[in-house]
């Protein structure tokens, strides 16, 4: 059997059982995933993404790519917003892309009105590891959810990736990520009027909008909810929003407090050390000289050698795992044992992140501006989920965010028990890692959405 046909058959075998009509959709995986399962999962998804791509037939799942223009907020080299002629912050424009998956006609009755689930992908260094290009692994989960649950699942590429490869990804910059998601909503909704497959099936959008994501995808989802909630009237005038619900799982919501404390902990080792240079380079893209990675990173990582240097390693052509290995080799330790402090220039660290200078530093101000865990009160339901022993992001990030947002909801006269849900992914004995947590959290999020809005 030719490889392409075999790959299509494998994908169909994977999705069709998930797509069968069932009175009770499957819940998240139970217990900690075994390492051999993860290895098999990675191998299988890698094969599918390499060989299937645009060959997915409509009878398995229908997909289409949409493109749109999104705002790119502009800042000066001091990290301050550039004023526009209208007195608001000036913005440039970037070309964005997203892939949307729809259920096959035999799965959802003709004429069905579908909810729109916007699923923002997790951290990826590689610019083409995005759903629009069938890169990375997460697109398969979006495809499976569309086929099984009967959702329209939109997977926008993060800014600086996919169609926007000319820019660097603004890693964990709340405003950039929220704009790139929100500005695509009209284009995603208009697909229902433009796509021939959807017209033939008489599918329509039912007006419900859900957001979800894991890791940086969770940060993006919550940043989007915050932006829509805090500027509700302005977006409503444009026909955008409100959010029906959001699943924000294992994200770094508290950057200035818990995430910063974890970063400067001299005993804290990270399984994936590429996050640190990625955020520094991303903030440099946004804030210019206010965050200079050549000043912030350790000289040993910036040295140009036969294997390059840190800035070349994170240029968007390598995977995060390969960068982890290069960093570990340069520092002379296993890549899973790298301490973030060792990756930083001691002089910059003392001035920008360490006490007592931190409270008045530029970095402190910028991190506070990108915190998502306080200063606003959600009005739509939010699901949080994370492993208590997540080795990449402190679990306290989720706990603290729940606490702060609960207090804001009470202050606004609401009941946090009606709006906020937190689900631990295993317990301390299970040892669920950040990566394994994604395999638990993403199915859990889709089921949470489904349970809140049973379909026919």
Q: Which distant-in-sequence residues (6+ apart) come within 8 Å of 346 by Cβ?
A: none
Helix ranges, 150-215 (H): 174-182, 185-194, 196-201
Q: Alpha-carbon distance 290 to 42, whole Å?
A: 38
Q: What is the pLDDT of residue 50?
A: 61
For CATH 3.40.50.1820, list the domain ranges present in the chain: 52-254+373-451
CA dihedral 340, 346, 350, 353 (to 10 degrees): -20
When pLDDT is averaged across residues 395-406 and rounded to a whole number, the result is: 95
Q: What is the pLDDT of residue 52?
A: 63
- Phi and psi for 39 in degrees, rounded to 5? -65, -45
CA dihedral 62, 63, 64, 65 (to 10 degrees): 180
Nearest in space to 209 (alpha carbons), one of 239, 243, 237, 233: 243
Q: What is the pLDDT of residue 9?
A: 47
Residue 154 bridge partners (DSSP):
100, 118
Residue 249 contacts residue 383 (beta carbons within 8 Å)? yes
When pLDDT is averaged across residues 368-381 and rounded to a whole number, the result is: 96
Top pLDDT among 182 and 59 is at 182
Residue 308 bridge partners (DSSP):
305
Q: What is the pLDDT of residue 391?
A: 85
End-to-end CA distance of the chain: 38
> Is pLDDT at 18 greater than 90 in this prediction?
no
pLDDT digits (tens, 9 = 90+) for 56-98: 888 889 999 999 999 999 999 999 999 998 889 999 999 999 9
- Average pLDDT score over the chain: 88
Percent of the chain with pLDDT over 70: 87
Q: What is the pLDDT of residue 44?
A: 52
Report in angstroms the alpha-carbon separations of 402 from 75, 152, 226, 421: 31, 28, 14, 8
Residue 324 bridge partners (DSSP):
none
- Phi and psi for 277 in degrees, rounded to 5? -65, -30
pLDDT digits (tens, 9 = 90+) for 117-173: 999 999 999 998 899 998 888 898 899 899 888 999 999 999 999 999 999 999 999
Q: Alpha-carbon distance 50 to 396, whole Å?
A: 37
Q: What is the pLDDT of residue 439?
A: 86
> Is pLDDT at 268 greater than 80 in this prediction?
yes
- Phi and psi for 246 in degrees, rounded to 5? -145, 140
Q: What is the pLDDT of residue 121?
A: 93
When pLDDT is averaged across residues 227-237 and rounded to a whole number, the result is: 95
Q: Which distant-in-sequence residues (6+ apart) come within 8 Å of 385 by Cβ?
A: 247, 249, 250, 398, 422, 423, 424, 425, 437, 440, 441, 444, 445
User: What's domain 52-254+373-451's superfamily in CATH?
Assistant: Alpha/Beta hydrolase fold, catalytic domain (3.40.50.1820)
> Is pLDDT at 455 greater than 60 in this prediction?
no
> Is pLDDT at 431 greater than 90 in this prediction?
no
Q: What is the pLDDT of residue 107?
A: 83
When pLDDT is averaged across residues 248-277 and rounded to a whole number, the result is: 93
> Is pLDDT at 370 greater than 80 in this prediction?
yes
């Amino acid at each position: 059997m030719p490889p392409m046909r075999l790959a299509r058959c494998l994908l169909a075998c994977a999705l069709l059982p998930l797509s069968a009509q069932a009175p009770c959709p499957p819940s998240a995986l139970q217990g900690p995933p075994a390492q051999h399962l993860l290895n098999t999962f990675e191998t299988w998804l890698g094969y599918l993404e390499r060989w299937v791509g645009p060959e997915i037939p409509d009878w398995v799942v229908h997909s289409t790519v949409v493109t749109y223009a999104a705002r790119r907020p502009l800042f000066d080299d001091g990290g301050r917003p550039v004023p526009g002629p209208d007195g608001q912050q000036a913005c440039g424009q970037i070309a964005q892309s997203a892939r949307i998956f729809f259920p096959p006609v035999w799965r959802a009755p003709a004429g069905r009105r579908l909810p729109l689930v916007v699923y923002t992908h997790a951290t990826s260094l590689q610019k083409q590891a995005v759903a629009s290009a069938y890169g990375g692994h997460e697109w398969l989960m979006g495809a499976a959810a569309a086929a099984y649950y009967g959702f329209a699942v939109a997977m926008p590429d993060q800014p600086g990736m996919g169609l926007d490869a000319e820019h660097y990804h603004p890693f964990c910059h709340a405003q950039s990520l929220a704009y790139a998601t929100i500005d695509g909503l009209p284009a995603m909704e208009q697909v229902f009027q433009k796509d021939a497959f959807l017209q033939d099936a008489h599918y329509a959008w039912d007006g419900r909008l859900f957001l979800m994501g894991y890791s940086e995808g969770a940060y993006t989802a919550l940043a989007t909810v915050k932006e829509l909630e805090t500027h509700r009237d302005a977006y409503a005038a444009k026909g955008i929003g409100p959010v029906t619900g959001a699943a924000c799982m294992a994200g770094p919501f508290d950057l200035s407090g818990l995430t910063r404390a974890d970063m400067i902990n001299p005993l804290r080792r990270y399984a994936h050390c590429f996050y640190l240079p990625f955020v520094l380079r991303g903030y440099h893209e946004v804030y210019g000289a206010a965050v200079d990675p050549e000043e912030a990173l350790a000289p040993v990582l910036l040295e140009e050698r036969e294997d390059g240097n840190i800035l070349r390693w994170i240029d968007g052509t390598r995977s995060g795992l390969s960068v982890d290995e290069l960093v570990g080799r340069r520092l002379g330790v296993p890549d899973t044992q790298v301490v973030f402090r060792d990756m930083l220039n001691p002089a910059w660290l003392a001035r920008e992140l360490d006490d007592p200078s931190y409270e008045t530093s530029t970095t402190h101000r910028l991190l506070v501006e990108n915190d998502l865990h306080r200063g606003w009160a959600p009005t739509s339901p939010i699901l949080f989920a994370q492993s208590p022993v997540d080795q990449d992001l402190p679990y306290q990030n989720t706990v603290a965010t729940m606490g702060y947002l609960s207090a804001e909801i009470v202050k606004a006269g609401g009941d946090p028990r009606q709006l906020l849900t937190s689900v631990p992914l295993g317990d301390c004995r299970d040892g669920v890692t950040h990566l394994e947590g994604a395999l638990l959290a993403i199915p859990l999020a889709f089921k949470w959405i489904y349970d809140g809005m049973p379909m026919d």
